[in-house]
């Protein structure tokens, strides 16, 4: 049985994305995921030899405070099909995620700096994002919006 948890957050958690550079994409495919419009994008960073994969869920062009969260890379499409209809971005994390479960600070730091992940998110036309908690694929909970950073640290 799936449960649904709604979190609140404040605008202090918002990260502006609109000023990002553009990186070339190796993959940019429109698809349907869980009955929602989606876009699967990927690129390779030759400097670090890391592949980045994002699933952009829903129409997000011009939106502010879009949820971005890491999920297990192998379950990216499954997690996307379980997501709410609200626009959100799922970052496929390999065996070395950008942050640990419940710790959103590392991912937020990555997104605040100019870089590949930030640039890929900008391709969706997003104005700003809010970093949500990392989810493991075995979780049966559907997250509709992220917790405030202070709430994530308190738990």
How many CB atoms are closer than 10 A to CB 46? 7
Average pLDDT over residues 53-63: 93
CA angle 43, 66, 72 (to 5 degrees): 50
* Per-residue pLDDT tens digits for 12-39: 578 988 767 788 999 999 999 989 899 9
What's the domain count of the chain? 1
Strand partners, 70: 91
Asked if pLDDT for residue 50 goes beyond 80, the answer is yes
CATH number at residue 44: 3.40.50
Instruction: Give residue 96's pLDDT.
Output: 55
How many CB atoms are closer than 10 A to CB 142? 15
Range of the domain at 101: 3-154
Average pLDDT over residues 99-114: 71
């Amino acid at each position: 049985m799936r449960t649904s948890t709604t979190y609140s957050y404040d605008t202090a958690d918002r990260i502006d994305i609109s000023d990002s550079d553009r990186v070339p994409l190796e993959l940019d495919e429109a698809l349907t995921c869980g009955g929602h419009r989606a876009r699967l994008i990927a690129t390779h960073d030759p400097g670090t030899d890391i592949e980045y994969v994002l699933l952009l869920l829903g129409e997000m062009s011009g939106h502010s405070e879009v949820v971005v969260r890491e999920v297990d890379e192998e379950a990216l499409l499954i997690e996307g099909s379980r997501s709410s209809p609200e626009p959100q971005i799922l970052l496929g994390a390999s065996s070395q995620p950008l942050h640990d479960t419940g710790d959103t600070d590392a991912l937020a730091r990555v997104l605040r700096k100019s870089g590949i992940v930030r640039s890929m998110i900008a391709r969706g036309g997003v104005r700003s994002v809010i970093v949500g908690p990392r989810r493991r694929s075995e979780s049966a909970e559907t997250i509709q919006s992220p917790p405030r950073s202070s709430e994530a640290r308190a738990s």
